[in-house]
Amino acid sequence: MKTVLAATAALVASASLASAQQLAPSPTLDAIKARGHIECGVHLGLPGFSFADDKGEWTGLDVDYCRALAAAVLGDAKKVKFTPTSVQQRWPILQSGQVDLLSRNSTITFSRNASLGLNFQGINFYEGQTFIVRKATNAKSAADLDGASVCVAAGSTEEKNASDWFLERNLKVTITNFQKNDDAIAAYDAGRCDAYTAGVGALAGQRVKLKVPGDHIILTQPISNDPQGPVTRWGDERWQLVVRWVLNGTIAAEMLGVTSANVDQMKASSKNSEVRRLLGAEGNFGAMMGLSNDWMYNAIKQVGNYGESFERTVGMGSTLKLERGQNQLWTKGGLLFTPPFQ
Amino acid sequence: MTRALALLNDKRVRDVVYQAALLLGLAALTVFFVRNASENMVKAGIASGFDFLWRNSGIDVPFVLTGYTRSSTVLDLFWAGVANTMLVTVVAMVLATALGFLVGIARLSSHWLLSTIAGGYIEFVRNIPLLFFVLFWYFGVIAALPAPRDSVSVFGVAFLNNRGLTIPLPEAPATFRWAVAAILLSWIAQALVAAWARRRKERTGQDTPVLAIGLGLVLVLPVLAVTWASLATGWDVPVLRGFNYRGGFVIIPEFVALLAALVTYTAGFIAEIVRGGIQAVPRGQTEAAAALGLRPGRILRLVTIPQALRVMIPPLTNQYLNVLKNSSFGAAIAYPDVVSLFMGSALNNTGQAIEIIAMTLAIYLVIGLAVSAFMNWYNARIALVTR
């Protein structure tokens, strides 16, 4: 096995020496190109983030990111296979190489980064944890939940966050941990718990699934800060580079005013050098990563920039109707930021 | 040379060599797997080893028997889960056996309606997946129970609602330890009296009022002990404040739902084992007993069941092991068993999948082997002694 690997590496190395651009070996990219699609791990079913409709068609913010990635790497946004993963399955599925990446509203934390062999490649959603309660309980903030039963997905950051938060304030809640988010929300709906806790965005998505969504309110004050984004495993730096910069590219496109509607015109006639570099009209940024130079052009053309994706999946154009809030560009009062394409 | 050949031709030597080789091979394979896994994990940047067991767990558990709190270690979390698994398994075994015997005997009844209902129940239960039972009972139990504000009050000290049954806790549990000791003592006394009465009957043919003495020892004494213990201590009685009752101990609906699911499901299989066991007793035995003038109840108790048990024990052992394994379905409804707590919460917080899954497998294996060992001992004890 080792000799085969070494031989392949040597072959790849000599081949790349011959070409103009020297690329670090990337087994993940090679495998994706060989099989013709990206394996993307997503949430089991969270409206607005990753949700399969009755035709098996996936939509959502996290799904859109994987489509943009497929457009950038393979030139076709449809060349993605989505693998739904539970809270428990997500890390082993990524670690074992069954998926190329996770785009699964998972919170970036220190211990996950340091001890699970995972890298977080940026932030595509700033989430804040809060609670959904029945209107009849008259709870206005999390502090009113003293004595309540709270349903939560076992092993999520929410489980520990909630426990820490109430302990710190000397409030007593009973936390009941379910294996899947869907089981927890079903038990909450059945009256087992007074509250269900998850991120603001996730709750907006889950509320749609309740029997009478209008009977419940989402408490506005978040108790935590949960930045979420695409996750890769350690190793294969070039693949990590692609994952990181496609995300940056969709944010940069919004910043630079490039949309799916005007991308052709921008590529042909924009005088802004960063736009020209982003879309491959100038320089060879795609080739530096081993992709075609119109990588971001394909992604924007087929999927749209971050803002378009946000409005369509979780924003005003969707059933979730979330404000941009922290997920607005930094120039407009939000936290979204991307390093320059230079 | 010839000596070596002679050794090779010796069957005993060959057997030892083969077995040693097999054992060595297995050991080498295990070492290879462990080393391979740990090397690859180091390469992939995944933490390994058992250090995490002594870390703070930080996980809240709503149903604890062991004194675990969120500041205990991950190892304590493991034991809390094991205790919950054992509790639901043992209670389910006892209740499923009782229900299974009733249904199995009803199935054989000459009463048409009774045997048809029992038969229908068995067919229904055996052909439906257990997960369905668990979810059915869970959402059934929650739906049937009132919200905390409309709780059903049991004499004003215990309260039943869809958060569970909240019962008062004694403030000085020591008195209850004495009560439990007294009860155990009375049981031992009852066993001794029964043995003495049997010997007396064999020796002299005289009956002893075992039932009356037994009632006194098994019922009256424990009731007295528990009453004394309850009066001697103060009580932490639950009080409704805000969302729910505070204080006391909560028996969560997940426990009740899982228990009900395991009992109703397993009873269907046990009923068939009981029916098969009873039908395996030759008809001549019952006829002979009837000819001797024994009434049907006594025939069942003294002639049929003791012989049927011998046929029933081995398949019953299988069912008991199934109960143990099926208790992991509790994870689907948030019953905090070892799978839910350790393989769910702890695994996600530490990410050490291999260690955690290996430990969970090991504990199921240990409990399962203990159940088998007990049942094998019991089987040997009641086996027909042939002379």
B267-282 tens-digit pLDDT: 999 999 999 999 999 9
Determine whether the interchain pair B243/A137 forms a contact, defined as Cβ–Cβ distance below 8 Å: yes
Name the residue among B252, B334, B348 with its Cβ closest to that of A87. Answer: B348
Residue A339 located in a structural domain: no
Would the pLDDT of B101 be above 60?
A: yes
Q: How many CB atoms lie within 10 A of CB A331?
A: 9
Residue A15 located in a structural domain: no
Quick one: DSSP state of residue A207? H
Per-residue model confidence (pLDDT) at position B46: 84
Per-residue model confidence (pLDDT) at position B217: 75
Per-residue model confidence (pLDDT) at position A51: 93
Would the pLDDT of A18 be above 60?
A: no
Share of chain B above pLDDT 70, in %: 98
Would the pLDDT of B109 be above 70?
A: yes
Contact list in B for residue A179 (CB cut-off 8 A) is 331-332, 334, 340, 344
A48 and A60 belong to one structural domain: yes
Residue A7 located in a structural domain: no
A43 and A108 belong to one structural domain: yes
Residue A298 located in a structural domain: yes
Among A87-96, A113-122, B235-244, the least confident range: B235-244
| Averaged pLDDT, A127-138 | 90
Would the pLDDT of B319 be above 60?
A: yes
A179 and A206 belong to one structural domain: yes
A136 and A255 belong to one structural domain: no
Is there a contact between A268 and A286 (Cβ–Cβ < 8 Å)?
no
Contact list in B for residue A163 (CB cut-off 8 A) is 58-60, 70
Per-residue model confidence (pLDDT) at position A6: 59
B285-299: b (≥16 Cβ within 10 Å) or e: ebeebeeeebeeeeb
Residue A262 located in a structural domain: yes
Residue of A nearest to B348 (CA): A155
Would the pLDDT of A21 be above 70?
A: no
Residue A317 located in a structural domain: yes
Contact list in B for residue A156 (CB cut-off 8 A) is 348
A104 and A156 belong to one structural domain: no
Between A78 and B174, whose confidence is greater? A78
Tokens coding B326: 């099926």
Q: What CATH number does residue A289 fall under?
A: 3.40.190.10
A211 and A244 belong to one structural domain: no
Structural domain count of chain A: 2
Residue A240 located in a structural domain: yes
Q: Are strands B235-236 and B169-170 parallel, antiparallel or unpaired?
A: antiparallel
The identity of residue B89, as a single letter, is T
A240 and A102 belong to one structural domain: yes
Nearest to B354 by CA among B47, B30, B29: B47
Would the pLDDT of A79 be above 90?
A: yes
Task: Determine the residue among A107, A149, A233 to mutate to test chain B binding: the one whose Cβ has the most chain B Cβ atoms within 10 Å.
Answer: A149
Domain boundary among A197, A224, A251: A224
Between CA A235 and CA B318 the distance in angstroms is 47
Cβ under 8 Å to B: A residues 191-230: 191-192, 194
Model confidence at A9, in pLDDT bands (50, 70, 90)? low
Would the pLDDT of A14 be above 60?
A: no
Per-residue model confidence (pLDDT) at position B40: 85
Between B177 and B74, whose confidence is greater? B74
A278-322 tens-digit pLDDT: 999 999 999 999 999 999 999 999 999 999 999 999 999 998 888
Model confidence at B14, in pLDDT bands (50, 70, 90)? confident
Would the pLDDT of A5 be above 60?
A: no
A161 and A248 belong to one structural domain: no
Would the pLDDT of B387 be above 70?
A: no
Is there a contact between A322 and A315 (Cβ–Cβ < 8 Å)?
yes
Q: How many CB atoms lie within 10 A of CB A22?
A: 9
pTM of the model: 0.80
A119 and A138 belong to one structural domain: no
Residue A322 located in a structural domain: yes
Determine whether the interchain pair A179/B162 forms a contact, defined as Cβ–Cβ distance below 8 Å: no
Name the residue among B45, B332, B341 with its Cβ closest to that of A234. Answer: B45
A111 and A241 belong to one structural domain: yes
A220 and A232 belong to one structural domain: no
Between CA A215 and CA A55 the distance in angstroms is 30
| Averaged pLDDT, B29-36 | 92
Domain boundary among A167, A197, A224: A224
Q: Which range of residues forms the domain containing residue A203? A: 129-224
Model confidence at A4, in pLDDT bands (50, 70, 90)? low
Model confidence at B6, in pLDDT bands (50, 70, 90)? confident
Per-residue model confidence (pLDDT) at position B350: 84
A153: contact with B, CB 8 A cutoff: no
Between CA A6 and CA B217 the distance in angstroms is 80
| Averaged pLDDT, B274-301 | 90
Is there a contact between A127 and A199 (Cβ–Cβ < 8 Å)?
yes
Domain boundary among A188, A203, A224: A224
Tokens coding A336: 């979204």
Would the pLDDT of A177 be above 70?
A: yes
Per-residue model confidence (pLDDT) at position B193: 86
Contact list in A for residue B343 (CB cut-off 8 A) is 88
A303-314: b (≥16 Cβ within 10 Å) or e: bbbbbbbbebbb
DSSP collapsed to 3 states, A163-178: HHHHHHCCCCCEEEEE
Between CA A49 and CA A199 the distance in angstroms is 12
Per-residue model confidence (pLDDT) at position A124: 94
A118 and A51 belong to one structural domain: yes
Quick one: DSSP state of residue B148? G
Contact list in A for residue B147 (CB cut-off 8 A) is 191
Is there a contact between A86 and A44 (Cβ–Cβ < 8 Å)?
yes
A62-74 tens-digit pLDDT: 999 999 999 999 9
Would the pLDDT of B318 be above 80?
A: yes
Contact list in A for residue B333 (CB cut-off 8 A) is 178, 183, 187
Determine whether the interchain pair A183/B143 forms a contact, defined as Cβ–Cβ distance below 8 Å: no
Average pLDDT, chain B: 87
